[in-house]
Every structure is written in C-alpha cells, then in structure tokens.
Homo-oligomer: A and B are copies of this chain.
Amino acid sequence: MEEKQKSRTKWKQDPQAVQHDILRIARGEFAANGLSGARMDEIASKTKTSKRMLYYYFGDKEGLYRRALEAAYDDVRKGEEALHLEGASPDEGLRRLIEFTFDHHSANPEFIRLVMIENVHNGAYLKESEVIRSLNVSAIAKLENICKRGIAQNLFRPDTKALYLHWQISAYSFFNVSNRATFALIFSIDLSQMTEQSKLRDLVVDSLLRSVLINNG
C-alpha cells in the first residue's frame, strides 16, 4: 500500500497537464458509470489535483462530461488518421479499412461506452459541441475515395454509397463492443475472446466484401 499522497510539486503551473489529467480520469469514470452515475468526488480523488479544479476548468459536471466526450472523439479521430491506404487496390483497401475500424473500436471500449451513454441522452451534449462537427469530413473521406475507385474499376457494385457502407461497418464494429455483455449472457458465449474476435472480424470483412464486390461467386 502506497502512502496516499499526491505529488503536488511539479504538476503545478502546468494547466495543460492538469486539464489533460482531469479529462483522462473523467472519461474513464463517465464511461464506467454514466453521466449521473459518475461522481465528481470520485473523479477528483483519482486526479492529481483537487475537486475544486474540476469546476475551475470545466464549470460543472455537464461541462466536464462534454469536454471528456469531445476529447474521446478527438482521440479516436486522431487514431483513424494513422491508417494509410494510398497504394492499395479498392478491394484490398476496403478490407483493410474494415479490419482497421473493427480493431479500432475493439481497442477503445471506453470510447464506445461514452458514445452509448451519449446516445442514451439523445446526443444532447454532442449537440452543443462545436468541436464535433469537424469530425464528419475526415471520418468518411477515405471510404469515399475507395468507393469511387472501386466503382470506376468495375469492382464494386455501382450503387455502393460510402455513407451507407460506413453505417454498416460502424454497426458491426460498434455492436461488437457495445452489446458484448448482454449477448454473452443470453447466448452463453463470450465473443470477447481473441479467437472469437478474429472469427467475427473475418465474418464482417467477408460478409461486407461479398455484398459489395461484383464478382464474389
């Protein structure tokens, strides 16, 4: 057991670091307990600063939640930028995009939970956020490029739409994380095991490619 004592020496006078620290903890707590379930006291105690600072920097609980949500979206967007598909053929590119998205969601369950929670609130806090609006461009650009090329090369069905394909990929990737608990209980199968995850990933990739590609007999 370590002595409970926060190192309040070198963190001071670094507002950026303090805010980041708070946001990181807050994200975890909100993801774990929901907006009303999370406790400001609990968040504060896990932080390197005092409770007062949560209010100093974020105003109130909802403000903190909103900022944590934004930060989560932003982190995920940054992660997505890491995927480069320049040289790949349309079908190979699509395969890799699906795999990446599936894995990326799987690797960020905290983000998934925040989005679930935000949807329980009907997107009320995302609605207020200016920051989020900028996500839509980058989120779908890669896919649009792939589709355009795939259709032009007569590989993809001509009615393939990037937005709807994105919806499909998201549905699989999101559901895979969001509904693990209840699915496991009802069907007595733990799909979060690595072997199951790779099986599901293949299923998703194959299924979607088969439905998009023209010659998939």
Contact = CB atoms under 8 A, between A and B. Distances in A.
B163 A187 contact: yes
A186 B136 CA distance: 5
A152 interface: no
A13 interface: no
Contacts of A204: 168
A139 B36 CA distance: 33
A71 interface: no
Contacts of A151: none
A95 to B, nearest CB: 14
Contacts of A172: 168, 171
A168 B127 CA distance: 29
A182 B136 CA distance: 11
A116 B171 CA distance: 14
Interface residues of A, number: 63
Contacts of A216: 210, 216-217
Interface string A108-134: 000001011111111100110000100
A200 interface: yes
Nearest to A31: B120
A83 interface: no
Contacts of A184: 123
Most buried by B among A35, A136, A176, A183: A183
Given A123-B181, A214-B217, 4 more contacts: A136-B186, A164-B199, A171-B174, A174-B178
